[in-house]
Amino acid sequence: MTENVKQNLLVQLRHLESVLMHTGYQAKVEAAESECEIVYGGSSVYKDIMLLRFAGDLLDKNGSGLIRFKSEGLPSHCSPFIMAIPVSKSFVFELWCEKKKLLGDLEMAEAIAAFLHLSFVFNFEYPKVSDCQENIHYNNFFCLGSRNCWGYFAAEVCLLW
């Protein structure tokens, strides 16, 4: 599972970025890119985190349902989530559930794979604040591989508006 996520993560993030650029998030994406250059020395991990959070804002009205910054603290729900912890000019990730850290010192792809694996194997419900986003990520990383499911998603978003 982790290998599928590692292989598909960057491709899917670029598809997601393309969708966000055409749904009113262009200024926010550009601001995240600038912050990568200024604060994180060119590392794109912050931008990737923000892309996932912007997708959460767009789909589920809460970008912090899937991925939270350590400075935001724990969420009010007990469902699984990923904690992003700044380290030097990048981030490490932790998997949390029931307000307890389950795994730490992960790369982004490992954290996403662990999150999806935990949710799938133990039949946890995704946090209601990120339900739609997680179903799309699951399909992109595991079922459809590197095919562009975000194009299908973009068509659905346009139909909703």
pLDDT tens track, the chain, 161 positions: 688 888 889 999 999 999 999 999 999 999 999 999 999 999 999 999 999 999 989 887 888 888 999 999 998 888 889 999 999 999 999 999 889 999 999 999 999 999 888 877 766 555 555 555 555 555 555 444 444 444 444 444 443 33
CA contacts within 13 A on the Cβ side of 159: 6
**Phi-psi category of residue 88: left, alpha or beta, with phi > 0 → left and psi -120 to 50 → alpha:** left
Instruction: Give the integer Cα–Cα distance in Å for 148 and 37.
Output: 28
How is residue 105 written in tokens? 């010192």
153 falls within a domain: no
17 falls within a domain: yes
Single-letter code of the amino acid located at 71: S
123 falls within a domain: yes
pLDDT attached to residue 156: 44
151 falls within a domain: no
DSSP reduced 3-state for 3 = helix
Instruction: Give the integer Cα–Cα distance in Å for 46 and 42.
Output: 10
Single-letter code of the amino acid located at 100: K
84 falls within a domain: yes
The answer to whether 98 and 78 are in contact (CB under 8 A) is yes
pTM of the model: 0.79
101 falls within a domain: yes
Domain hosting 83: range is 2-144
152 falls within a domain: no
67 falls within a domain: yes
The answer to whether 36 and 42 are in contact (CB under 8 A) is yes
Q: In the chain, how many domains are there?
A: 1
